[in-house]
Structure 1
Amino acid sequence: MMAKNKLAAIINLTEDNEAFKPLTNTRPIAALPFAGRYRIIDFLLSSISHAGITSAALFIGESGRAIYDHIRSGEAWDFDSHTQGGIFTFSQQNWKLNHHEDNEHEDFYFNHRIYMTRSRAKYVFVSGSKIIANIDIKAIQKQHVESGKDLTVVYKVLKRESIGKSHPFERSLVFDDQREIVGLKENDQLTDELNVNQSLNMYLLSVDKMNEIIDQAIDDGLYTSLDQVIQHYLLANSVNAYEYTGYIANINTIDNYYQANMDMLKRQNFSALFHSSLPILTKSKNGSPTYYCKNSEVSSAIIATGSAIYGTVKDSVIHRGVTVEKEAVVKNSVIIQGTKIGAGAHIEYAIIDKGCVIEPGAKVIGTRDNLAVIGKNTIIEAAEAQL
């Protein structure tokens, strides 16, 4: 029997990651490392776990190996302790989208439906996967039930200049004087507004309503991720709007990914995201503390465990197992797990992916408006200075 207020969760890891390459050559946006020891997916999984949701379905665009490696059994988020719960993954959604017409008898949304049925939940939380925030899903559900509306959309009031470039699936909500949603605007349609009500692409609705919307999508020949399906039919339903007031980062460009990491160097941003009553959970890794040589110089930095710092690190985020040798300088950069930075090397305004080797004397120097981005396992020699 369906629990009165039981929740399920569907997360769509299907966002277009082409603009993030080479960082997304082997991982979706949701698997990008963040703030030293986390992944972007950790924030949604933590919110789901704190809401008492015992299972989640992840619909992944490609193979999903990076996600599987990070999540494993879901122990970090307590998904492995429920006999009928767990994390259920459905990979190759992009291939399925491009080939679903080859089998006219197969329901494109079959896995979505069967997951919701087997979850025995009354409500479902549906979201994309590129928002960094600390969301209280139980509070969203409470407001949704009290509203009596068909569905609830989560939004954040942002300054117009912070929205940035247009994105094909992002919308701002338009309210009338009674705070009813009467329209959706694309980013390039925003003109004189000082503040905008940016949808976070997160929705809560009943499983029955979700199935109704899926039926409508099939009738109309609309095949895409569920969050985009809901957005498409949003104004055809009665809609409650839930305002999120905490820290948010929308990871829709490499620049935004970089800036979100830099934001964490400010104590108020870090505290707002990580020091709430709902802690952010991630897979634990046992490792030694970071070693700081007595001649090292470190200021305004996040440095994860297992690293060794002999040189200078300023205004940067350093992930696990990174070595910065003597006289090496790292400024305004994000250095991902396992990278080795040789003696006398100079890194500035850069994102260096996992397992890279920056040889002694090499330079990787970008600017704030033109970041230097080095893909996984790359070796940069001194003669190959990246400018």
Structure 2
Amino acid sequence: MKTENKICALLSNVTRNESLAPLISQRPIATLPFDCKYRLLDFPLSSLANAHVSSIFMTANQGETQSIFDHMGSGSEWGLDSFKNRYFVYIQQDFQRLKEQGLPYFEQQISFLRKSKAAYTVLIDSKFICNVDLTAVLKIHKTSNKHITAIYKKVTPDIAEDVDTIIRFDENNKASSSFLAQLTDVQDKEALSLNMFIVDTEWLIGFLQRMQAEGEYASSSRLLRKYLSEFDINTYEYTGYMSNIRSIKSYYDANMSMLDSSNFTALLYGSQPVRTKVSNEVPTYFSKESKVTNSQLSSGCIVEGSVTDSLISRRSKIEKDAVVEKSIVFTESEIKAGAKVKYAIIDKHVVIEPNVRVEGSLERPVVISKHTVVTENIIQK
């Protein structure tokens, strides 16, 4: 028997976007750091946890699961470590191999949905940074008498990319959808799907069985978006903070927007808490010579130089006379004495040697890959 208010989830972490290289060369988009201590994955996980979702079926690309496990561990921060609450991680390419062998490739998802005994399922991914109250969406969904509720946000078209889904409404307020690349009449404001849906579980099982019978293969969310216009759907407008991570520039801008207190508070300190992996460390040390202006720093850092309009992650070090401006510094990186970093994204375990200059621009932030030791100036305008 289905439990009337119970929800399970299919969480997809398979999106790839090469415009985010080299940041995603050794990690999925889902585990990209955000605002010093979070990961993009924290936002869908927190929305699910706040809605008391008890079981999550996660998919990831082959070779990209390690950073997900490293971050999530037992899942305790999101309430997923009990006997009744669990998460499962599957490799997306395994389903492709089953399809190539002529085997039923959606059976694991269907089995998960049946065993969950949940009346409703959330389809969600890690591409959008937002903080959606899924409990409120579920209430709307249950009163709609429709099988699907799609969550969207009204944005200017430049916020979307070609593969994103746009929802349109006719004169009777009936919703239809298209990928942005298919539209010939882009409007000043569009309803951008957040790749987030609440659906009736029994309906979803039937949909996946149909997709399997027709030989359609993709993540469940993408298949639903592809066929969305066939169905009479309900919609829910999300009006909170949102960033669409689609490029290095958009990723940089999303992080820097957290220096605006209104954005920071709206996303992270509303009624729906955002949870992340707990790390108990010593506080950050600021020397008497240090100067920090309009910046955020996580725990365990040592700051002896100057930091302005920047975000510095855990256990990083800014040495004496070093200058960091309008930049993002990931975990355990070192900016040596006299070095200058501006408009840059410094990945984990990077060392900028003394007196070296690393500088990009607002439109083209320079990215320094993991474990790099920078010994010569890097100027990218």
Q: What's the secondary structure of 2:370's corresponding residue?
A: coil
Determine the structure 1 residue equivalent to 2:33.
33
**Contact preservation (8 Å) 1:213, 1:233:** no
Aligned to 1:77: 78
CA distance in 2, matches of 1:156, 1:182: 15
How far residue 324 of structure 1 moved from its aligned partner, in angstroms, is 0.4
Q: Is 1:184 matched with 2:178? A: yes
Cα distance in 1 for partners of 2:159, 2:59 equals 29
1:128 corresponds to which residue? 125
- Which amino acid is the alignment partner of residue 73 of structure 2? R
Encode CA deviations 1:104-153: one digit per residue, 9 max, x unaligned: 1x221122112112211111000121111111111111101100012010
For residue 313 of structure 1, the aligned residue among 307, 316, 319 is 307
Change (3 A) 1:57 1:95: closer
Residue type at the aligned position of 2:81:
D
Of the three residues 365, 369, 378, the one matched with 1:371 is 365
> What code does the residue aligned with 1:134 have?
N
Can you list the C-alpha shifts for 1:152-206, whole angstroms capped at 9, x where unaligned?
100001123443xx332x1211101232103425157364522111111111111
1:295 is matched with 289
Mapped to 2, the partners of 1:31 and 1:298 lie a distance apart of 27
> How far off is 1:5 after superposition?
2.2
Task: Output one character per residue of 1:33-53: Cα deviation in whole Å (capped at 9) or x when no partner.
Answer: 100100010011111011011
Please say which of residues 17-26 and 354-363 is displaced more in the overlay. Answer: 17-26
Judge conservation of contact 2:359–2:379 (CA < 8 Å) in 1: yes
Distance 1:332 1:318 in 2: 11
User: Which residue does 2:378 correspond to in 1?
Assistant: 385
Which letter maps to 2:68? I
Specify the code of the residue in structure 2 equivalent to 1:58: M
State the alpha-carbon separation in 2 of the partners of residues 183 and 61 from structure 1: 27
| Secondary structure, aligned partner of 2:123 | strand
Give 1:385's aligned amino acid: I
Query: Would you say the 8 A contact 1:174–1:185 is kept in 2?
Result: no
Shift of the alpha carbon at 1:95? Answer: 5.5
Aligned residue type for 1:232: K
Measured in 1, the distance between the counterparts of 2:131 and 2:278 equals 19
2-structure distance, mates of 1:96, 1:244: 32
Give the C-alpha shift of residue 275 in structure 1: 1.2
Give, in whole Å, the separation in 1 of the partners of 2:107 and 2:94.
15
Give the aligned CA root-mean-square deviation in angstroms: 1.5
1:158 matched residue in structure 2: 155
Tell me what 2:101 maps to: 103
SS at match of 2:105: coil
Aligned to 2:66: 65
Q: Distance in 2 between matches of 1:148 and 1:332?
A: 49
User: Identity over the aligned pairs, expressed in percent?
Assistant: 33
Partners of 2:308 and 2:325 within 8 A in 1: yes
The equivalent residue for 1:94 is 93
Are residues 210 and 188 of structure 1, via their aligned partners in 2, closer, same or farther at CA, if it must alter by over 3 Å? closer
Question: TM-score by structure 1 length?
Answer: 0.94
Q: CA deviation at 1:100?
A: 3.3
Output the CA distance in 1 between the equivalents of 2:369 and 2:223. Answer: 33
Q: TM-score, normalised by structure 2?
A: 0.96
Counterpart CA distance in 2 for 1:20 and 1:86 is: 31
Matched residue type, 1:107: P
Aligned residues: 379
- Does the 8 A contact of 2:141 with 2:198 survive in 1? yes
Instruction: Write the distance in 2 (CA, Å) between the matches of 1:230 and 1:161.
Output: 24
Answer whether contact 2:177 2:228 (CA < 8 A) is retained. no
What CA distance in whole angstroms lies between the structure 2 residues aligned with 1:281 and 1:235?
34
- Please list, as runs of the form range in 1=range in 2, the aligned pairs for 1:205-216 lying within 5 A after superposition: 205-216=199-210
2:22 equivalent in structure 1:
22
Deviations 1:319-372 (A, max 9, x none): 101100111111111100000110011111111100111111111111112211
Q: Secondary structure at the match of 1:233?
A: helix
- Separation (CA, whole Å) in 1 of partners of 2:62 and 2:263: 32
Structure 1 residue 74: deviation in Å? Answer: 0.5
- For structure 1, the 5+ residue unaligned runs are none
Which 5+ residue runs of structure 2 have no aligned equivalent?
A: none
